[in-house]
Amino acid sequence: MMKNATRVSLILAVCMMVPAFVSADSMTFRVPNDGKSRATFVSDAPLETMVGKSSKVTGELTVDPADITKTKGSFKVPVVSLRTDNDLRDEHLQGDGWLDAKKNPNIHFEITEVLPGKKGSKELKQNKDTKVQVKGKFTAHGITKPVTAKGTAKWSGDSLRIKADFTVKLEDHEISVPSIVRLKVANEIAVSVDLRAVAK
């Protein structure tokens, strides 16, 4: 009788512990094409500062709130969705002399590693910003290069918001700037993303 009671107690204890383990499991989040996420790029050249934006960012990532280093995911931005408030410039940007949207329809970012930021934590805490460093593969114009972004992640139940910044060089992606506009287009481009993801 005593053995049976002990066995039942152990089973109950294990059952009570299960939710704790489940809550720490990985969660899959989706960045929907709802216009709430945004990618921005800035070219700060001697004669002109150009700002481009897209609100057509989509993607998916898997996150373990107890350990962000296990994070995996990828995102994409359609080249034709980039806007600089100048229709002619947008046409050139998407053309075969620049990003070549017909051959390379998307700009792509794949996460390869996530690390806690300076004085950051491996754990995501509800409704608090967590500093992160994200390493990944950035593909533009069909050329993939490694990049490192710094930012924050904020987990709130079924939603996740990620803000990050990094830089890319046009020459690294075999995008040559014509001499006539070299003072208006910088080789180094500052990229920032503001992603709003929801649990699947």
Q: What are the pLDDT digits (tens) for 59-94?
A: 999 999 999 999 999 999 999 999 999 999 999 999
CA distance 63 to 116: 13
Phi and psi at 19, nearest 5°, equal -55, -35
Whole-angstrom distance, CA of residue 12 vs CA of residue 23: 18
25-199 is classed CATH 3.40.50.1000: no
In this structure, the number of other CB atoms found within 10 A of the CB of residue 135 comes to 14
Q: Which two tokens stand for residue 28?
A: 């899959």
In this structure, is the dihedral angle defined by the CA atoms of residues 148, 149, 155 and 161, taken in order, positive or negative?
Answer: negative
Inform me whether the pLDDT recorded for 19 exceeds 80: no
* Residue 124: partners with Cβ closer than 8 Å, 6 or more residues away: 63, 65, 66, 68, 130, 153, 155
pLDDT at 15 over 70: no
Q: How does residue 111 score in pLDDT terms, banded at 50, 70 and 90?
A: very high
Domain-by-domain residue ranges, the chain? 25-199
The Cβ of residue 156 has, within 10 Å, a number of other Cβ atoms equal to: 11
pLDDT exceeding 90 applies to what percent of the chain? 81
C-beta of residue 72 within 8 angstroms of C-beta of residue 66? no
Lowest mean pLDDT of 128-132, 180-184, 191-195, name the range: 180-184
The average confidence (pLDDT) of the chain is: 89
Quick one: tokens of 44? 């700060």
Distance CA 52, CA 39 (A): 8
Residues 158-185: pLDDT tens digits?
999 999 999 999 999 999 888 888 899 9
Identity (one letter) of the amino acid at 138? F
> In the predicted model, what is the mean pLDDT of residues 117-139?
93
